[in-house]
Structure 1
Amino acid sequence: MKARNFDKKFDENKSDVVGDLNLSTIKRPNQKQKRVNVDFPTWMIESLDKEAARLGVTRQSIIKVWLAERLEQSAFNKPTRSDAA
């Protein structure tokens, strides 16, 4: 199907366009996983486990969320070149 026809079908809401997609080759940009090992002190692991249990998530999930939040915050607060001038 040509992109023009796909767009028209989507815009007119004629039917579900997901059936026209090949989802077996779908990729999420910047979401490729890479395993890393990090050593934490015992007190930190215990604190992480307590907070993860309180939230009902895994230790890995809470680490990923907290790191993502911090990285987004750092990127948001980073001065741009125009700010430095």
Structure 2
Amino acid sequence: MRAAEFDDNFDRGEDITSTLDLAKAQRPGEERPGEEQRRGNVDFPAWMIAALDREAGRLGVRQSVIKVWLADRLEHSTHAA
């Protein structure tokens, strides 16, 4: 099933559970092995925070922007090594 069809079925209130792999379902916040959350503090210059806030306003919340950018950069540097 294509994503658009899935979305349309859901939006119409149809039961979509038969199309899901419930064996792999997770509750929000439930970590997969190797993906447990750890807190880290980073100090940024004021101009960088302002730029992050602008981008977060456009895309979503600040932490998500930082996580996506860092993950992308780390993934590229891992594959380059």
Q: The TM-score by the shorter chain falls in which range?
A: 0.5 to 0.7
The gaps in structure 2 that reach 5 residues or longer are: 1-19
User: Could you list the per-position Cα deviations for residues 54-73 of structure 1 after superposition, in whole angstroms to 9, with x for gaps in the alignment?
Assistant: 12x11111000000000000
Q: How many residues were matched structurally?
A: 59
Counterpart selection for 2:48 from 44, 48, 59: 44
* 1:29-40 alignment, distance < 5 Å: 29-40=33-44
SS in 2 for 1:32: coil
Larger radius of gyration between Structure 1 and Structure 2: 1
Counterpart selection for 2:63 from 60, 64, 68: 60
Length-normalised TM-score, structure 1: 0.59
| Two-structure CA RMSD over aligned residues (Å) | 2.6
The gaps in structure 1 that reach 5 residues or longer are: 1-15, 79-85
Length-normalised TM-score, structure 2: 0.62
Moved over 6 A (4+): none
